[in-house]
Amino acid sequence: MKKTIIFIFFFYSLLSFSQNYTALDTTDYKIRKKLIEDIESELEIFNKELKKSYKGKKRKKIIQSYTELYNTFLKDIKKKKLVFNTHFTSYIDSITQSLIDNNDTLLKNRKLRVYVTKNNSPNALSMGRGFVLLNMGLFKYLKNEDQLAAVLSHEIAHQILNHTKKNILHTVNLETSKEKREQSKKIKKKKYNKQSEAFSALKDILYSNKKKHRIEEIEADSIGFILYKNTNYQPKEFVNALSLLAKFDSLPNISLKKETYKKYFDLKEQPFKEEWMKIEDFNSYNYNNFKEKINQDSIKSHPEIYERITKIKSTFAKELLEEKPFINNSKYKELQGIARNEDIPNLSYSEDYGISIYLTLFKLEKNPTNLFLKEWLGINFQKLYEAKKKYQFNRHVHRLVPNEQSESYQQFISFLWNLRLNEIKNIANYYSKTKKAED
């Protein structure tokens, strides 16, 4: 349920929305096909190398771990979860090249492949073998190009330090060690009982040992800052980026007004029904406990970031005081605007149709005539209709869990579960027709 909390932490100040915005094109079949073929070919060659370097059970486990990691990545690519839009790819390539050009000693002859994912959380991941994933959520949340370059520098540092390889070997050693079978069981549980979100699954594979992960993060900060300070970016923004990421989980939870439901679902062909708003009685539940739990979870989520900030400040105190010419952030602001518009399609592409509708309604409260938002109401309700027909509704809409959800979100979940199949279809049809009529 952590995923629910993360996805519905959106920012009131970021609600500027283009009236006639068009979602990013996802018909990048040739590019995706080529990348998939390249990764599959590379993995095959790499597995042959592993067979020469390791033996027995250890070899089998290492090959299995790498195969699982890259199969998860390939699945993401096939499901269109990577962004191949030239606005993003050219921009990220230019930042990456700047880091390479200014760090010849550390990055000479190193093949780096950086991609943007359609994930709304402000996060990034180094997969090893040159692959780095930057979530689109970083563009929404970070303030400038300097901060984005700081995050990328940190992830490239993981590559330099071979942390993916070390983590896989560490896990395999535990799994093949007789003395540590209990620890191995815990790792397997973490590794294979994954969340549905593939990005989290990748992180679970790479970072099964939290204590080891924290040490590696501090190591990557140190090397990452060295890479970063050799460029024209402002040194202090490296720390500012970490500070922003540390605050992410403590943002307020969005809420929907009850009148919003009647406003958008009282249709001529299907009048609003009060029974849709029925919700299980949780009067005995103290919602202050929910707020307290969120705050505690937020503090627990990122204690290591504050530790990392302290470490950077003490290690590079002199370097952090250096002032450099400011980077022109006009291109970053343009991509930031796209990222803000893409959060609803991104949730839908991730098959989180329920949360996508929730965010759409919240934005409609601020922008009631927005055609793009109404179009996505139609798209998401159509997806829910198809899912309910296949008895797969629960894959895309959460169940009630009062100790992990706000009153507003529970009301929303109840509303969706109370709708009948034909009622969902009628809503989908109405907003689809609205879009066509406007066209």
Q: What is the pLDDT of residues 226-244, one digit of tens each?
A: 999 999 999 999 999 999 9
For residues 3 and 393, give the distance between their C-alpha atoms in angstroms, rounded to a whole number: 18
**pLDDT number for residue 436:** 56
Structure token pair of residue 118: 């359609």
Q: Could you tell me the CA-to-CA distances from 230 to 92, 315, 331 in Å, in that order?
A: 18, 16, 22
Cα 235 to chain center, whole Å? 26
For residues 18 and 26, give the distance between their C-alpha atoms in angstroms, rounded to a whole number: 19
Highest mean pLDDT among 121-125, 194-198, 199-203, 417-421: 417-421
**Angle between helical axes of 198-206 and 181-192 (0-180°, round to 10):** 160
5 falls in which pLDDT band (50, 70, 90)? very low
- The pairing of strands 113-117 and 131-135 is parallel
What residues pair up with 135 in beta bridges, in sequence order? 117
87-101, 136-150, 246-260: which range is least confident on average? Answer: 246-260
For residues 362 and 360, give the distance between their C-alpha atoms in angstroms, rounded to a whole number: 5
The answer on pLDDT for 9 being more than 60 is no
**pTM as predicted:** 0.84
Q: Which amino acid is at 275?
A: E
Structure token pair of residue 26: 């996802």
Residue 36 in contact with residue 79, Cβ under 8 Å? no
For residues 386 and 421, give the distance between their C-alpha atoms in angstroms, rounded to a whole number: 9
**pLDDT number for residue 11:** 45
pLDDT single digits (tens) 28-52:
899 999 999 999 999 999 999 999 9
Residue 287 in contact with residue 200, Cβ under 8 Å? no
Q: What is the mean pLDDT of the chain?
A: 85
Q: Exposed, middle or buried: residue 347 (CB in 10 Å: 0-12, 13-18, 19+)? A: buried
Taking alpha carbons only, the member of 217, 227, 234, 235 closest to residue 306 is 217
For residues 228 and 153, give the distance between their C-alpha atoms in angstroms, rounded to a whole number: 6
Q: Which backbone phi and psi does 117 adopt, to 5 degrees?
A: -100, 160
Greatest alpha-carbon pair distance for the chain in Å reads 69
pLDDT single digits (tens) 84-130:
999 999 999 999 999 999 999 999 889 999 999 999 889 999 999 99
Phi-psi sector, 56: left (phi>0), alpha (psi -120 to 50), beta: left
The answer on pLDDT for 155 being more than 60 is yes
130-144, 161-175, 314-328, 359-373: which range is least confident on average? Answer: 161-175
For residues 204 and 202, give the distance between their C-alpha atoms in angstroms, rounded to a whole number: 5
**pLDDT number for residue 438:** 55
